[in-house]
Amino acid sequence: AQSVAQPEDQVNVAEGNPLTVKCTYSVSGNPYLFWYVQYPNRGLQFLLKYITGDNLVKGSYGFEAEFNKSQTSFHLKKPSALVSDSALYFCAVRAMDSNYQLIWGAGTKLIIKP
């Protein structure tokens, strides 16, 4: 079965430290991978996506993600966390044989402490 896993319900990071939010997937074929962010009481906002090409993708607000085909992972990273990065982060994958619908991870709550 096709799936997306975000193994950590919550990640705590001190402000100024690097952060990583993990995502692994299991789909057939070449996936399209996405990260979205949800701030409190708001809808989701697009951060970045991997379609093809360079495995390191840069997105909004200084975030980047690395596609690793052998490990089927697409971890979200930022070199220096800000308190304002505190939010709920969702990984999603669009598989070619799922009528192109998105498969979503359960979300990871990121807390950045001053």
Q: Which residues contact another protein (rule: CB under 8 A)?
A: 4, 9, 32, 34, 36, 41-46, 49, 51, 90, 92, 94, 96, 99-102, 104-107
CA 23 to centroid of chain Cα atoms:
6
Burial class of residue 35, CB neighbours in 10 A (0-12, 13-18, 19+): buried
Distance in Å, CB of 66 to another protein, minimum = 18
Could you give the CA distance from residue 114 to residue 95 in angstroms, rounded to a whole number? 39
Distance in Å, CB of 31 to another protein, minimum = 9
Distance in Å, CB of 42 to another protein, minimum = 6
